[in-house]
Structure 1
Amino acid sequence: MSNLSDIQKKFFINVLLATSFTFSISQSAMTTIYPTLMKHFSVAVSSVQWLTTGFMLVMVLMMPLSPWFLYIVPFKAFLLSLRIIFRFGTLVAIAAGYFSLLVIGRLLEGAAVGLLFPSFQSVILSITPEEKRLTQMGLVGLVMGSALAVGPIVSGVILEIFDWQAVFSFFLLILIILFLLSLKFIKNVMPHEPYHFDVISSISLMGLVMLLYALQTMTTKITISLLFIFFVGLLLFGYFVQRQFSIKEPLLDLRVLKNAAFRLGMFLTAGSYIALIVTTVLMPIYFQKILGVNALWSGLMMVPAAISLSILNRRSAEVMKRFGLKTTMLIGSAMILIGFFGLLITCQIKLWLLAIIFAALVESGNAFMMMPAVTYANNALEKDLIPHGTALITTVRQIAGVIGVLIISQVLTLVSKPLQVSMKGMLASFAVSAILAAILLILVLRIKNRRANKLL
């Protein structure tokens, strides 16, 4: 970006972040309209959550491909193409007369998001001096974290005035505007390098999707065909991992996993993401099904969480510079644990104020967890490995999100009655979430202060 003026740089980054913000909102916006879609299409919680789980599965499949696209395709053409794919998926969703067609539209959206998320983070990390990455990633965290929190709010407000198709129409309008802005302000900032696309690796990567699909489906039934898919997926994914270590130009360079600091940062990022995505899934259901509020109010009840996450994300870099990485992340993980534990012990009281406070506490804790962990992990890598490290972190984070949503949805479904959500189901879901938060806190305790501060 050295050939761009300061104003051009500012517009470049802002348009890129605005695109990521819009894509990220689409990831969580479905949760508020779950009850509406369950009624409209006559489907259960375990079925409607495929709008999130399926979205994430395709994201996981596409994310490891992002380093290759960054090396081969001019960044401007790459970004514009992703917007076209996303818009087409959105049009399919708007026109959906059947639930399966709606899922297909979401899968197309997921493909575009899966390629964008690691790519835009790689671009920002690559063009930012190491000493400024912490501040810059704080901004990225602000965009992505607040977008996930804002998604249910936006869809709730729209749903109160219009029907569920209007939620998708809103994203379509925003992306058309961003497409036009990108034509002017997005530049080709990444160097072009010859990089072999390993077809065998890309095919074997399907094993991961097969594994996640089988695990998701086997929670309700176990058949011979599902077991076959599971074991074939396990073999394919195992081969994918082995191949990345053995070929000269891997699709996803897994050598980054040999770095202990990177591994720990990756797992911490995944854990904090589970907490965030589970909150955005559970709380709208709790507000609507247990407290009995409408979609608009359930969205508005998520506003305090979104605001606190946005404010604290921007402050996370300052906190880390003052207190160090380990202390900052201890604060964050403790906030997440207290938030989920608070929801567990107070949800039967049915006080909306307590639910709002504890949900905000969970999301606020993520401000001191997710992006600090990403920065910590990537700063442990050589610059040429950053695209691969970012792709792997983002992939693992989404896998964790899929598994987290899968576990919570199944707990909610199994404990509740068919096609209904009960208080017992919510209690069980919050209990599982609190256990996962406790594990996250234990992982943070493994960080070594001296080594962590050297990587900031």
Structure 2
Amino acid sequence: MVKEITERNKKILLIVLIAGCFLSTLNQTLLNVALSDFMDVFHVTPATVQWLSTGFMLVNGVLVPITAFLMKRFTTRQLFISSMVFLLIGSVLCACAINFGVLLTGRMIQAIGAGIIMPLMMTVILYLYPSEKRGSVMGTIGFAIIFAPAIAPTLSGFIIEYVSWRWLFIGLIPFLCIVIVLAFNYLMNVAETTKAKLDITSVLLSTIGFGCMLFGFSSAGSKGWDNPIVITTIVVGIIVTALFCLRQMKANDPLLNLHVFKYKVFTLTSFINVLITMIMYADLILLPIYLQNGRGFTAFEAGLLLLPGAIVNAFLSPVTGKMYDKHGAKPLFITGLLFVIVSMWGVIGLTESTTYVYLMARTIILRIGLSFISMPLNTAGLNALPRELGSHGSAVNNTIRQLAGAIGTAVVVTVYTIQATPHAAELSMENKSMTAAQLAKLASIFGSSHAYVFMLVFSFVALLFSCFMPKKTAIQKSMPEKAVVQKSQS
């Protein structure tokens, strides 16, 4: 069936998928700088409003492990159109929200659509393109995946400051409708479906396990690690997830095939993926905290600072994709991480006088580094797998990314709080004439700097792992062996 798809149809398929992916990833980070505005509009507390992000991540994270089953059971058209319809319904509900409950419900429905689209797109690429061409294709897709969440803070800040918050959702609706129409007209199915049976026990275990872990880690930053709810949910999550993993290892037709970790390159890229995701999430949290709490910049100004880096990142993604096809993953990872290390080193000594232009230049350096890592990382991991394990590898990748994002957020907020709180107390003792606002600003700057030291350590660890990546020639020599494994499994 794959052979019947012409080059022209492949391009049309990619355009439709990239458009859907762009809207999905844009939607995920669009509300990050709007949460304080929602607190004023709906008169809710920070703990309540945080559910717009936490709830979205929970639904998304819980759904990802079962996407491998969904891709076996339903066609490409059915899954893609369903994901876009869920995003559309959720956006309409959010745009019309008369209270916080309706807004949260709409956000949860959006998360169902977002949870399907990314693993689906990765699997489609594995089916359509040979390994030697996937880097270029993934680089093109990276334009959407990287550019959308990076411009979201700027776009959101502008809408919040100059228009109504409802336009955060109204603006998505016509574009979603266009993508749905295009999908009905041009999207074709990529692989045959099978009447796969759903393992309900595995679904329950993955939902409880991943759901509890995501909730526990995402709550740790605000509630504290000693909170009974945080401790309980993390412990329950770890135990139930362990039971889920044991069941998958023994199952003949697992919901999530963990045998993907038998492939060295996939396992190695998964470790690096965890560290890079934690660094990315940490920066997206720490930089706005420093700019808004420590320096008094508006949400729009904070978002605007990220824009040049986002543009550079997006336009470099297709270039690094082609470089991956030519040189392999190892030199790209090492180059990218050197840029990341320089960018983290540049913000471990933040002060009240650190200039806006300096921070913008530093963010561009970070984004250059990430463009050498993000999409080549996904491509290298999935290329290491036989085609029939592609959907499982994609689902595992996305599950790891969700958990790493939640853990990274919790860790960096904890480090920030641990450093900022005692520093504020010391300052108040040394200079009793300082106002509470001045103390809070200085403590925020100090906390951000120390949290970046933590991220710098992560960057060095990721660089160490990258050195163990095999060279392109070594991977190519192992391809015949992989083909034999693939043939024996089919």
TM above 0.5, one fold? yes
Match for residue 435 of structure 1 among 446, 454, 457: 457
Please give the residue correspondences for 1:269-288 in structure 2 after superposition, counting only pairs within 5 Å. Answer: 269-288=273-292
Please give the residue correspondences for 1:46-85 in structure 2 after superposition, counting only pairs within 5 Å. Answer: 48-85=49-86
Which residue does 2:356 correspond to in 1? 352
Q: 1:241 to 1:69 in 2, by over 3 A?
A: same
Please give the residue correspondences for 1:255-334 in structure 2 after superposition, counting only pairs within 5 Å. Answer: 255-321=259-325, 323-334=327-338
Deviations for 1:260-314, whole angstroms, at most 9, x for unmatched residues?
2110012222322233333333334433333333333333222111111012211
Q: Secondary structure at the match of 2:147?
A: helix
Q: What is the Cα deviation at residue 46 of structure 1? A: 6.2
Contact 1:38 1:48 in 2 (8 A): yes
Q: 1:429 to 1:173 in 2, by over 3 A?
A: farther
**How many angstroms apart in 2 are the aligned matches of 1:54 and 1:29?**
14
**How many angstroms apart in 2 are the aligned matches of 1:5 and 1:322?**
24
Percentage identity across aligned positions?
25
Q: What is the Cα deviation at residue 346 of structure 1? A: 3.8
Q: 1:190 to 1:38 in 2, by over 3 A?
A: same
Q: Secondary structure at the match of 2:33?
A: helix
Contact 2:218 2:409 in 1 (8 A): no
Q: Secondary structure at the match of 2:349?
A: helix
Match for residue 467 of structure 2 among 435, 445, 451: 445
**How many angstroms apart in 1 are the aligned matches of 2:228 and 2:163?**
44
Which residue does 2:482 correspond to in 1? none
Q: Which amino acid aligns with 1:127?
A: L
**How many angstroms apart in 2 are the aligned matches of 1:225 and 1:51?**
19
Which residue does 1:217 correspond to in 2? 219
Task: Point out the more displaced range, 438-447 or 301-310.
Answer: 438-447
Q: 1:278 to 1:96 in 2, by over 3 A?
A: farther
**How many angstroms apart in 1 are the aligned matches of 2:229 and 2:415?**
24
Task: Point out the more displaced range, 284-293 or 70-79.
Answer: 284-293
Please give the residue correspondences for 1:43-192 in structure 2 after superposition, counting only pairs within 5 Å. Answer: 48-99=49-100, 101-192=102-193
Q: What is the Cα deviation at residue 243 of structure 1? A: 0.5
Q: Secondary structure at the match of 2:188?
A: coil
The structure with the largest alpha-carbon Rg is 2
Q: What is the Cα deviation at residue 371 of structure 1? A: 1.5
Contact 1:309 1:363 in 2 (8 A): yes
Q: 1:181 to 1:233 in 2, by over 3 A?
A: same
Q: 1:352 to 1:154 in 2, by over 3 A?
A: same
**How many angstroms apart in 1 are the aligned matches of 2:177 and 2:445?**
42
Contact 2:219 2:410 in 1 (8 A): no
Deviations for 1:25-68, whole angstroms, at most 9, x for unmatched residues?
11122223244335545667666544333322222211111111
TM-score by length of 2: 0.85
**How many angstroms apart in 2 are the aligned matches of 1:364 and 1:453?**
27
Unaligned runs of 5+ residues in structure 1 are none
Unaligned runs of 5+ residues in structure 2 are 425-435, 480-490
**How many angstroms apart in 2 are the aligned matches of 1:29 and 1:342?**
27
Q: What is the Cα deviation at residue 403 of structure 1? A: 1.4
Please give the residue correspondences for 1:235-250 in structure 2 after superposition, counting only pairs within 5 Å. Answer: 235-250=239-254
Q: Which amino acid aligns with 1:436?
A: F
Which residue does 2:340 correspond to in 1? 336
CA RMSD of aligned residues (A): 2.7
TM-score by length of 1: 0.91
Q: What is the Cα deviation at residue 322 of structure 1? A: 5.2
**How many angstroms apart in 2 are the aligned matches of 1:454 and 1:295?**
51
Q: 1:101 to 1:342 in 2, by over 3 A?
A: farther
Q: Secondary structure at the match of 1:193?
A: coil
Q: Which amino acid aligns with 1:137?
A: M
**How many angstroms apart in 2 are the aligned matches of 1:400 and 1:154?**
26
Task: Point out the more displaced range, 248-257 or 275-284.
Answer: 275-284
Aligned residues: 456
Q: Secondary structure at the match of 1:31?
A: coil
Q: Which amino acid aligns with 1:431?
A: V
Q: 1:351 to 1:218 in 2, by over 3 A?
A: closer
Q: What is the Cα deviation at residue 92 of structure 1? A: 3.2
Task: Point out the more displaced range, 130-139 or 408-417.
Answer: 408-417
